[in-house]
Structure 1
Amino acid sequence: MPLQRGGVAKAMAVHVPLCVLVVTGQILIVDRVSLSFGVVPERALDSILAYGLRSYGDLFTVIYWAILGAHAAMRWHEAWRAEAVRAARLSSDLAQAQLAALRAQLQPHFLFNALNAVVALVSEDPPAAKRVTVRLAELLRATLAATERSSLPLREELELTRRYLDIEQVRFAERLRVEWSVDADVLDCEVPAFVLQPLVENALVHAIAPRAAGGQVAIGAARVPGGLRLSVRDDGPGPVAVAPTRGSGTGLRNLRDRLDRLYDGRASLSLTRARRRARGGGRGADSCAGRLTRGAACLVRAGGEHRRTRPLQQGPHLGCGKRWRRHLRREGGR
């Protein structure tokens, strides 16, 4: 019976008499062995016990309590580990439940936007409305296949984004011009599921929809020192009334919350405006930018700082640790 926390008195009431019995038995065993080898003469029981207690009593007592203490320590350690595993499992289950709730919020929000596009086309262009409905069914089928995962290869994320843009292309027609710039050697990198769609939607809402002439949306993915950069850029004026570091829509709030859950607060998402001069005079262009980190080994810049290359190239940064950087270098050498 090991010592238990909260029951020391009860345990001592058991182990003190048990220790006396064990030590007495050990003394008698040592005496019998010594007698068989002729080391000691035959003696009375009281003499055996008196001599044994003087010679071995302290040693046998220390050994008994040392074994008992080691056993109790092992039991306490096992209980602590079991509690730590249980707490970690509960924390993981909670995080998964929160991510599932956020994904569940994303699906109705996206479906609502897509159905709005269908409604807008029903009276104006019924054939286009039919095409959008078919493409929406295809997109929802692909989305359901990916919705159970918190991350997926970039090539799958880009395919989901392309299907989404196919629907919006029918709605906006020539008003929407899409440019893709994706390095082939990053297509197998894991990214958070549905990380691009809210950013693309933000560009469509603030850069394409308000303008009769529409505009251009550029989607890029490229390696940068320390990770992978995803960028969604547009040439629109951007949301004037929105604070530069906060997203205003459900999609962006949802994305920011998912990044917080996935990356434990080491991810940030912000709306930034990059001013540039276009030929013939131009206005500022907005991009939705963020930075993600894979873990404690990542080099994380100060919150909200972006790698500046040329105008409109801020974007979601996927930082990574040493192992993923080695993977990127290896994939790039193929």
Structure 2
Amino acid sequence: MPLLPRRWRLPYVALLVVVGLLQSVSALQSYRQGGGERPWEPFLWEFSSIAVIAWLALAVHALMGRLGGRPWLRQLAAHAVALPLFSLAHVGGMFGLRLLVYGLTGVDYQPGELSTLLVYEGGKDAVTYFSFCLISRGIWMARAADVRARELDRARRELAEARLARLADQVQPHFLFNTLNLISSVMYEDVAAADRLLCQLADLLRQTLAAQQRVEHTLGEELALVQPFLALMQARFGRERLDVRIEADAAARACRLPALLLLAPVENAVKHDVARHRGRVTVSVVATRDGERLQLRVSNHGDTPVPEAPPDPDGGLGLRNLRERLEARYGGAAQVRFGPDGAGMSLEVALPCAC
């Protein structure tokens, strides 16, 4: 990573120019009061120093990056060597530029005794050097904190994706076992019907496997899996016992959600509630979009409930899985409500709509 990224180069140069102008204007006032006759001289003095300092500041920043995490004694030894070099480079570069310009203009320039210059400039350079060290340390610490934050965020995303994948993997075996149990009861009554149901189940499993690989898809694609499943269950129980209703407008169908999110709740509604009612059961799936929220409702209503088979107040494994998947994907932005609804049960899910 470059010490000075491209996007910071122009602001860095602009900052140096502004600092140089401010110092030059201030020096110009003293210069005029002292009887100076060449107004460009204070600008040369200040900008010659700024030009050299601009490169030395980057060198100090690089040094601080290399010293990060090193033992304190090694850092002190490095600074003990770097500080004199910093001052010598500053003095040499600064007066070298001045002598060059004065030579080109034909103006005589006497900078003074070298020992006096080194002592005078060395004190200022020490303050400048350690100021750069403190600023640089803060920049390196901020950069390290930013890197750690991005790595932590990436680790959290990967953990969430792994958790979502694990939860999604639980859906298909749970759905498969329950569906095979339902179909097995038909085999001794109607072999042809059982064979037909198994073929339909195989097609449905191929579709669910493809959906599972995508992790996320639209509600329309989710309903394209729910509809054949409900058709399969109607063939199993008969249309006189199982009535199916699916309502979703175009805006709701465009919303994205985790793949196979509704399959387990719909399957539970069919499996448990057809068994809990002697008469006709209506399973409905309704989806609406309210602004940036997707509202889902899976409900079932039967004619005559069987009191000996009370519903699971938690909604069973399928709904526990649904809650965990929504928590992993949306956090507190998704809400789930499940409970009695007249002669049946109702599941309501509200989550952000991302298209």
- State the distance in 1 between where 2:95 and 2:232 align: 94
TM-score, normalised on structure 2?
A: 0.71
1:168 aligns with one of 233, 240, 250: 233
Cα distance in 2 between the residues matched to 1:215 and 1:90: 46
Would the alpha carbon gap of residues 202 and 40 (structure 1) be closer, same or farther in structure 2, given more than 3 Å must change? same
Residue matched to 1:189: 255
Q: Of the two, which has the highest radius of gyration? A: 2
For residues 149 and 35 of structure 1, do their structure 2 counterparts lie closer, same or farther at Cα, with a shift above 3 Å needed?
closer
- Aligned residue runs from structure 1 range 1-334, under 5 A: 1-2=63-64, 3-5=67-69, 7-31=71-95, 37=102, 38-40=108-110, 47-54=113-120, 56-174=121-239, 175-224=241-290, 227-236=293-302, 237=305, 240=310, 242-243=312-313, 246-247=314-315, 249-275=316-342, 284-292=343-351, 294=352, 320=353
CA distance in 2: counterparts of 1:191 and 1:32, whole angstroms: 68
**What TM-score, normalized to structure 1?**
0.75
CA shift in 2, pair 1:65/1:121, >3 Å: same
Q: For residues 134 and 183 of structure 1, do their structure 2 counterparts lie closer, same or farther at Cα, with a shift above 3 Å needed?
A: same
After superposition, give the CA deviation of every residue in 1:32-69 in whole Å (9 maximum; x if it has no partner).
Answer: 5556643217x7xxx41223322x22332233333344
Identity of aligned residues (%): 32
More helix by share: 2
Q: How many correspondences in the alignment?
A: 280
Structure 1 residues 206 and 87, CA, compared in 2 at 3 Å: closer, same or farther? same
**Aligned letter for 2:159?**
L
* Two-structure CA RMSD over aligned residues (Å): 2.5
Structure 1 residues 210-231: Cα deviation after superposition (integer angstroms, max 9, x where no partner): 3332311122122335522221
Deviations 1:237-259 (A, max 9, x none): 5973643xx32x11111111111
State the alpha-carbon separation in 1 of the partners of residues 336 and 249 from structure 2.
23
Deviations for 1:81-106, whole angstroms, at most 9, x for unmatched residues? 22222212221111111111111111
Unaligned runs of 5+ in 1: 276-283, 295-319, 328-334
CA 1:251–1:242: 2 relative to 1, 3 Å: closer
Could you report, residue by residue, the CA deviation over 1:18-37 in whole angstroms, capped at 9, with x for unpaired residues?
21132134334445555664
The separation in 1 between residues aligned to 2:211 and 2:242, in whole angstroms, is 26
Structure 1 stretches of at least 4 aligned residues deviating more than 4 Å after TM superposition: 28-36
